Structure 1
Amino acid sequence: MLPTSLYIHIPWCLRKCPYCDFNSHKSPESLPEKQYLSALLADFKADLTHFPTREIQSIFIGGGTPSLLSAETYALLFAQLQKLVPFAKDIEITLEANPGTVEQQRFTDYRQLGINRLSLGVQSFNPLHLKALGRIHDDKQAHKAIEAARYAGFNNLNIDIMHGLPGQSVDQGLEDLNIALAHRPEHLSWYQLTIEPNTLFYKSPPSLPTEDEAFLLEEQGLACLATNGYQRYEISAFCKTEQVARHNLNYWLFGDYYGIGAGAHGKITVDGQVFRTRKQRQPTDYLNPAKPFLAAKEQVNADSLVFEFMLNTSRLEQAIPHSLFTERTGLQGHILSPLLKKAAKRGLITLNNDFWQVTSLGRRYTNNLQAMFLPD
């Protein structure tokens, strides 16, 4: 049985950030928490009529801004979910939080009800850059949120920091990183801002650092992280004492996951066949009892499986055993083997009889490596 996770999407934000391409919507004055809770449970029950019931290894509550919802709502949700599927004894439950929505008591309540990992979307500690990103918090609120998380008892904390921001110098990018490191988070997500379609930044592009500046910042930032004892285990994920993001690692190792909530995606394997699901994107549609929760369900064909497997696993620093391909896709290794040999000849991966692993050259040109596995 493949390891299985649960993703829960909370679609509301106080304000849409200009760089954000996630399914997020401005929150109404009064959030329909009870209605949304009922919808999430009904959505999951509907999934379980199509897919097998499995033990849940991890839960990730993303958004949007999940910290807008009360601890009481999550307590009720978890209690009902456990009536539907078993939770692993060591389950990891992550909640994303916006530093601009921090309430100490709420964080404490989150921790007490069983949420054991917090991911704070700080993005920057520079007031000017936070303003350029359209964030609702300032640098003081960012520090306060981290302190509140620690006071609440979270000993597995992730801090999101972006680099390559509008008007950001190399020194300013490193300063953000060093400030985050001073808080000694167990996990750090450090990634470059990308301009995505259907965002305000795409319509009105800001002035960003040059490619040379971005490369220099990444090079110096990686050295800084290593010096401070943070292990890079994925393109933009770093941790201390092996406290990896288990939920995300399941994605990257091509594990299965249910996805519930407005716009949530899922991936479930049934009898060797891999299915992708997508739920109604608009919250109004998702909450409309006349409409099904499921907006799309499709079986992934063999060519797409090869690409999707490599798209995910090539993000990791660890060696990938050849057996994982068959285990996670149901396909035989000879389908992938010629493509791996081609990538090895180009120096993008190392390859032997047991496993393959991305090289430093392959990491620098990850997009080129992944493109080699695109379907014809």
Structure 2
Amino acid sequence: MSEFGDPSDHALILDPARIPLSLYIHVPWCLKKCPYCDFNSHTLPKEELMNAPFDEYVNALIKDIDSQLDLVQGRSIHSIFIGGGTPSLLPTAEFGRLFTHLKNVLAFDKNIEITLEANPATLEHAPFEEYLSLGINRLSVGVQSFDNQALSVLGRVHDCDDAVRAILQAKKAGFTRINADLMHGLPMQTPKLAVNDIQMALQAGATHVSWYQLTIEPNTAFYRTPPDLPNEDVLEEIEKQGRATLLQAGFTNYEISAWVGRDDTACQHNLNYWQFGDYLAIGAGAHGKVTLLDHASHPNGVYRFAKTRLPRDYLSYEYAPKMVDFHKIDEIDLPFEFMMNALRLASGVSVDTFEERTGLLISTIDNELLPLQHQGFMVFDPNLIAPTKMGFRYANHLMQAFLP
């Protein structure tokens, strides 16, 4: 990226009041660690569930949010996402205790979106009516596949019937917004099998589909012992047929791996991530981002932070779970940080959003945007920054252009 020159030529006033604020809650336990998973998750065998430290963990979550109240800066909470691990292992009584406290110390937007990640196995979730009664109004069901052989290879503890049943039961309970998490490019997967996964999710009643390719990440069992994955030609055909199936069903691809149906809306929490909004974060290994103005302890700017990863360490702090990293994003890194998120959106973002959330004038990145526009990868006008269809397909290439 080009040097900025005098920062005063590019700086604007960052105003947190103009930036939406969300909350991420991390529950770190799973019954079994999947071989592809590189998330901060830790095995909790089912025979240990009765003695799991869920109440102590909620106590820590409460201390955690209390330690971040100075980061709210007068804003209400726009959305909440409860991820993991397997958040649905946490008893609903503990969720109730947590939400009671959250509502006491935070202002919730009138139309707040609250998403819970839930696994299909009945052992790993309460009756769905209980989640609705807590104010959770969106579910993300970790299906991954409806093919039992694929589920076995992926190390999942549910089967096809469990996955279908979970979506049907959630709909019967009254959930109108249900995401199905699906992977493609699985070991030995054919285009027919991949399309069948999508069709079964839609037939069961999913209103939103997260459809993403299996990637082999470091520090996973698959990285140490790689499975036999489909070749590039098969992967391309899977993507082609999968996209056609979703489009034919009336779904819109609004983000690289996210599809929304006619009867649903885009995930507001994830949109806030992609639009470089702010989010508090509580729980072991949780990551957050906040914009600060006239803060007592920190200079004005955009900050990222993280919490200690291991549950035992997170639980060991008497007063508040430890913030292991709280750092200001350097001005020269802000364009890449912003575009790394915004370029995931098919519709792009407004120029005003870039300026409001980075504190930089759009002219700061003229040298990067204009060549991409001339090459046919970007739309760039006084109001909008967006990838073209070709740019959306090669978003990773576009992001590299904004590296400092």
Q: TM-score range by the shorter chain?
A: over 0.9
Q: Which amino acid aligns with 2:302?
A: V
> Alpha-carbon deviation of 1:51?
5.2
Counterpart Cα distance in 1 of 2:249 and 2:219: 37
Q: 2:313 aligned with 1:285, yes or no? A: yes
> Alpha-carbon deviation of 1:52?
2.5
Moved more, 328-337 or 90-99: 328-337
Where does the alignment leave 5 or more consecutive residues of structure 2 unmatched?
A: 1-16, 294-299
Q: Which residue does 2:13 correspond to in 1? A: none
Report matched runs for 1:1-376 at 5 Å: 1=17, 2-27=19-44, 29=48, 30-49=51-70, 52-101=73-122, 106-241=127-262, 242-271=264-293, 272-289=300-317, 292-375=321-404
- Cα 1:51–1:248 change in 2 (3 A) is same
Would you say the 8 A contact 2:92–2:130 is kept in 1? yes
- Cα 1:103–1:38 change in 2 (3 A) is closer
Where does the alignment leave 5 or more consecutive residues of structure 1 unmatched?
A: none
- Secondary structure at 2:132's aligned position in 1? helix
- List per-residue Cα deviations over 1:14-48 (Å, max 9, x = no partner): 00000001000012612211101110010111112
Would you say the 8 A contact 2:89–2:124 is kept in 1? no
Q: TM-score, normalised by structure 1?
A: 0.96
- Cα 1:359–1:21 change in 2 (3 A) is same
- Cα 1:131–1:355 change in 2 (3 A) is same
Would you say the 8 A contact 2:378–2:386 is kept in 1? yes
- Cα 1:105–1:196 change in 2 (3 A) is closer
- List per-residue Cα deviations over 1:293-326 (Å, max 9, x = no partner): 2111000011221111000000001142111111
Would you say the 8 A contact 1:53–1:85 is kept in 2? no
> Alpha-carbon deviation of 1:198?
0.8
> Alpha-carbon deviation of 1:195?
0.7
Q: Which amino acid aligns with 1:286?
A: Y
- List per-residue Cα deviations over 1:238-264 (Å, max 9, x = no partner): 112351100001000100000100000
Q: Which residue does 2:5 correspond to in 1? A: none
> Alpha-carbon deviation of 1:50?
5.1
Q: Which amino acid aligns with 1:336?
A: I
Counterpart Cα distance in 1 of 2:285 and 2:349: 31
Which structure's relative contact order is higher, taking Cα pairs within 8 Å and 6+ residues apart?
2
> Alpha-carbon deviation of 1:356?
2.2
Moved more, 33-42 or 212-221: 212-221
Counterpart Cα distance in 2 of 1:307 and 1:199: 28
- List per-residue Cα deviations over 1:96-142 (Å, max 9, x = no partner): 00112457853211111211001000000000000010001011111
Counterpart Cα distance in 2 of 1:93 and 1:85: 14
> Alpha-carbon deviation of 1:167?
0.9
Q: Which amino acid aligns with 2:239?
A: E
Counterpart Cα distance in 2 of 1:53 and 1:350: 35
Q: Which residue does 2:12 correspond to in 1? A: none
